[in-house]
Amino acid sequence: MLPFCFLRVAGQNRRHRRRYASARLAISSIVYLCQLLCLAKAVLVALLGEEIVWPGRHGDVGLVFMYGAICASLIGLLTQLLSATALVTAWEEGRSEEGEESQSLLGKTEDRERGQRRKSTVAVLLAFSAQDTPLLLLAFLAGAAAALGQALIPYYTGVIIDCASIDPDAKEFQWTCLKLVVVSLGCAVFTGIRGGLFTIGMTRLNVRIRTSLFDALMRQEIAFFSATRTGEITSRLSADTTTVSDQICLNLNVGLRSLTQAAMVLVFMFRASWRLSVITFIIIPAIILITKVYGAYYRQLAKAVQKELADANSVAEEALSSMTTVRAHAAENSATAAYGECLRKFYTLQLKEALAYGSYMICTTFLPNAVNVVTLYYGGNLVLDDMMSAGALVSFMLYVASLNGAFQALGDVFSAFAAALGAADKVIELIQREPKMPDAGSLQPPSFSGRLELQDVSFSYPSRPNSRVLDGISLRVNPGEVVALVGPSGGGKTSIVKLVERFYLPDSGAVLLDGRDVGLYDPRWLKRRVALVAQEPVLFARSVRRNICYGLEAEDGVPSQDVPSAADVERAARLANAHDFISAMPQGYDTDCGEKGVSLSGGQKQRIAIARALVRNPTVLLLDEATSALDSDSEAVVQEALDRMMRNHTVLVIAHRLSTVAGADRILVISAGAVAEEGTHESLAEAGGLYSALVRRQFSKTASSASLATTVHGSSYTSLPALNPLAPANAPSSQGTPL
């Protein structure tokens, strides 16, 4: 009764579910062990024919009572086992609820929402494998045939021993040997077929899971990538997906093989001697219970180990990918210490895992050996009493060994499954994560003038909801107009561009293009009309040509007539001042840029990024101070390309340089998330406000060394100081050098 009382109490109190479930599990285990001992004693006494301490112990009535008691005990055991299974599940749920609270990648509220709609991991994995049902069915049938062979081998071994020694029969002996050879061969062939088919299934599942995960990642909003470390994501994509597919298929293979093997062996065992079989059976519930409890515990450990490993990978990746910064700040020791700390946590968890595994091995090694001793003792007595042949006893012992092997394998499968499910939980959590961004629209209007408006826009980054970056800002860029955004660092200029690009949604207000919300347009269509040249160009490890055409290839779903031709690419490169250096490279436009464009200089990368924007023939250009990270020579050629670009487009440019700003049709001074001033360079410079202060401050800092106006390659490029008040006062200010 006690466990059931606990069940009721715990069911009413979710917060303490795990604690109650653990207590219930402990009590159930004790009750189960007592029952096991009683049953063992009753069965031994019944089978060995010793004196029975039982009511009505003499004659048939006593025997009926005794077997009745054994049956009742068996039923009790099964009930107990089922209850223990339910308890383990409750215990697991309690643990996962607790763990999720502290460990989730995605925050408490999201976890709760996700918990409500998430299907169970196993169901999702089954759905992933559904396509391979025929393959897996075939593999299973081959496995069943192999298991039948495995079960026949001990049987024929026993027959051969009887024919050769106990009851000599040469003809029967040779015939049985032949059958044994055929069965062994058939068993080997079917085992091979089963293994091969499962391996194919494993690879197919791996590809499917990886594709789904990558697809899900590609759909996530930008805020997700700011909040989640890249190392964690790549760990999910590489290590966890491999663990899931490999472990699940491998263990499905081993598990099904062991189950069918156990079922076949049991049939043959009962055929050989039902008395001996009952004895062997006593141990089965014990092994199942131990593996179940162990599996639940191991699963939690495996999940925690995966997390620690992902953390360690992130820390290492962060340091290794920024080695120059680490070296420049002499931060090698702190990077090593941070990595060491992650590994220390990982090691502690691995120790726990090793301890759990050790305890499990002790139990699973001892229990089968105990069964062997009991079986031999009782089987020997049966042979002595002529109730069984010696060959049958040998067969039986081989069956017991086979059954032990099957259960051992099942236990291993269980723990490995637990590890795979731990990894699968995280992978599926990501696959099922719904992006926090509403679906983009499908609008593709026949004409697009490129009028850009922000109407009373307020915005905070999701990672810092309490810090308002834009505060009711309104602005407008008319078709063909060049509008420059200037202002103090952190004022919100780049955030405006991010909203126009729809990387984030405003908290209130609207971002409009031609009077319609940016979210209403088909994103693929819009990205050809609104192009961005960012501060730091990002190139990919592919040819220069493919970098320029990035996002416009047939693989991106672009109709073949819209894919830029070689002439389009060259034209864009010429406009971006990039054609000459590209042509000078050994393989021209087919030269590989290397990882993140490592084989190109900053200026060359930026010019390829400009060509990438120009090849789209955009209506609106968003420029985020594309020259600020360049040296003076590179800056001059890039600036010339930018000037050329600006002449023919609607442009919103974030500019720190007076050269860019002065040529703009209108200047907006953005400060503290609002438009502080608006006008032309001349009007603002004379107005005596924030803009003129910025200009004056920069001029006074650079007057002694700066050449204030330089014409480069005949363009209107003017090298004037930067408008960023945070720029160092004594920075070199030779031609085009950022301050």
Ligand X SMILES: Nc1ncnc2c1ncn2[C@@H]1O[C@H](COP(=O)(O)OP(=O)(O)OP(=O)(O)O)[C@@H](O)[C@H]1O
Stretch that binds ligand X, among 347-355, 363-371, 490-498, 643-651 (CB under 6 A): 490-498
Q: Of 36, 469, 475, 518, which lies in the binding site for ligand X, with binding defined by CB under 6 A?
A: 469
Told to check if 466 binds ligand X by CB under 6 A, we report no
Q: Of 115, 192, 490, 732, which lies in the binding site for ligand X, with binding defined by CB under 6 A?
A: 490
Provide the mask over 203-242, with x wherever binding to ligand X is found by CB under 6 A and - wherever it is not: -----------------------x----------------
- With contact defined as beta carbons under 8 Å apart, do 452 and 480 qualify? no
d(CA 18, CA 348): 23
Q: Of 65, 461, 550, 699, which lies in the binding site for ligand X, with binding defined by CB under 6 A?
A: 461
Nearest Cα to Cα of residue 221 among 458, 505, 524? 505
CA 151, 152, 156: angle at the middle one, nearest 5?
135
Handedness of CA 301, 307, 311, 316 (dihedral sign): positive
Query: Of the two residues 262 and 499, which places its CB atom closer to ligand X in the complex?
Result: 499
**# residues near ligand X by CB under 6 A:** 12
Beta strands in 478-602 (DSSP E): 482-486, 508-513, 516-517, 530-533
CA 180, 186, 189: angle at the middle one, nearest 5?
140
Q: Of 28, 241, 494, 547, which lies in the binding site for ligand X, with binding defined by CB under 6 A?
A: 494
Q: Which amino acid is at 517?
A: D
Stretch that binds ligand X, among 76-84, 105-113, 317-325, 463-471 (CB under 6 A): 463-471
Q: How many CB atoms lie within 10 A of CB 607?
A: 30
d(CA 208, CA 355): 35
Query: Of the two residues 411 and 488, which places its CB atom closer to ligand X in the complex?
Result: 488
Stretch that binds ligand X, among 27-35, 365-373, 489-497, 587-595 (CB under 6 A): 489-497
- With contact defined as beta carbons under 8 Å apart, do 299 and 360 qualify? no
- Partners of 443 in the beta sheet? 521
Query: Of the two residues 493 and 529, which places its CB atom closer to ligand X in the complex?
Result: 493
Q: From the CB of 216, what's the least distance to ligand X, in Å?
A: 21
d(CA 342, CA 396): 51
Q: Of 463, 466, 561, 704, which lies in the binding site for ligand X, with binding defined by CB under 6 A?
A: 463
Query: Of the two residues 528 and 656, which places its CB atom closer to ligand X in the complex?
Result: 656
Q: From the CB of 464, what's the least distance to ligand X, in Å?
A: 5
β-pair type (666-671, 530-533):
unpaired
Handedness of CA 494, 497, 503, 508 (dihedral sign): positive
Q: From the CB of 610, what's the least distance to ligand X, in Å?
A: 19
d(CA 559, CA 548): 17
Provide the mask over 414-453, with x wherever binding to ligand X is found by CB under 6 A and - wherever it is not: ----------------------------------------
Q: From the CB of 688, what's the least distance to ligand X, in Å?
A: 23
Told to check if 688 binds ligand X by CB under 6 A, we report no
Told to check if 525 binds ligand X by CB under 6 A, we report no
- With contact defined as beta carbons under 8 Å apart, do 102 and 161 qualify? no
Told to check if 516 binds ligand X by CB under 6 A, we report no
Told to check if 493 binds ligand X by CB under 6 A, we report yes
d(CA 595, CA 581): 19
Q: From the CB of 300, what's the least distance to ligand X, in Å?
A: 33
3-state secondary structure 651-698: EEEECCEHHHHHCCCEEEEEECCEEEEEECHHHHHHHCCHHHHHHHHH
Told to check if 492 binds ligand X by CB under 6 A, we report yes
Told to check if 464 binds ligand X by CB under 6 A, we report yes
Q: From the CB of 493, what's the least distance to ligand X, in Å?
A: 4
Residues with Cβ within 8 Å of residue 430, at least 6 apart in sequence: 213, 216, 217, 233, 236
Stretch that binds ligand X, among 423-431, 450-458, 487-495, 515-523 (CB under 6 A): 487-495
Q: Give, for 500, the enclosing helix (H) or strand (E).
A: helix 493-500
Told to check if 495 binds ligand X by CB under 6 A, we report yes
Q: From the CB of 470, what's the least distance to ligand X, in Å?
A: 8
Told to check if 489 binds ligand X by CB under 6 A, we report yes
Query: Of the two residues 564 and 738, which places its CB atom closer to ligand X in the complex?
Result: 738
* Lookup: tokens for 303: 């999940």
Told to check if 121 binds ligand X by CB under 6 A, we report no
Question: Which chain residues interact with ligand X by CB under 6 A?
Answer: 226, 461, 463-464, 469, 489-495
